[in-house]
Copies of this chain bind each other. A is one copy, B any other.
Amino acid sequence: MTNPTAAMLVIGDEILSGRTRDSNMYYLAGELAKVGIDLKEARVVSDDAQAIAEAVRALSARFDHVFTSGGIGPTHDDITADSIATAFGVQIDVREDARAILEAHYKTTGLELNAARLRMARIPEGATLIENPVSSAPGFTIENVHVMAGVPSVFEAMVASVLPKLTGGAPLLSQSLRVMRGEGEIAGMLAAVAAEFSDLSIGCYPFQKDGAFGASIVVRGADGARVDAAVTRLSRDLDA
Contacts and interface: CB of A to CB of B under 8 A. Distances in A.
Interface residues of A, number: 72
A108 interface: no
Nearest to A48: B40
A172 B21 CA distance: 17
A26 B203 CA distance: 23
Nearest to A23: B21
A18 B41 contact: no
A41 to B, nearest CB: 6
Contact of A76 (B33, B77, B187, B206): B187
A21 B172 CA distance: 17
A46 B184 CA distance: 21
Contacts of A51: 40-41
A20 interface: yes
Contacts of A12: 203
Contacts of A204: 73, 75-77
A188 to B, nearest CB: 5
Interface stretch (A93-101, A111-119, A140-148, A158-166): A111-119
